[in-house]
Amino acid sequence: MNSILTGGWKTFIMVEPFVSVLGTFGSIWGIRYLSPSFSMATMVFGILTYLTFYLMVSVCIYDLLLKKD
C-alpha cells in the first residue's frame, strides 16, 4: 500500500482541487457578471482549496516521515 488514503478518499483528494479551482474562478466570473452575492461562493471554494491543499501536504508528510512499513 502506497498511501494511507485508499478508495473513495483518494479519488476525492484527486478531484476536489479541480472542482474548487473551477468553482472559485466561476464564482469570480459570477461576481462580475451576475450578482455580488457570488462572493460567498468564492469564499467557500477558496477555503475548500486551502483545506484540500493542507490535507494533501499532511498526508504526504505523514507518508514520508512517520509511516513505517
Domain count, the chain: 1
Domain coverage including residue 38: 7-66
**Average pLDDT of the residues in 42-47:** 95
Closest CA to 39 of 47, 51, 28, 49: 28
In a domain, 30, yes or no: yes
pLDDT attached to residue 47: 95
The yes-or-no verdict on residue 42 having pLDDT over 90 is yes
Please give the model's pTM, rounded to 2 decimal places: 0.78
Which range scores top for mean pLDDT: 11-15, 34-38, 60-64?
Answer: 34-38
CA distances 44 to 3, 19, 25, Å, are: 28, 12, 12
- Residue 51: inside a domain: yes
Contact status, residue 31 vs residue 39, Cβ threshold 8 Å: yes
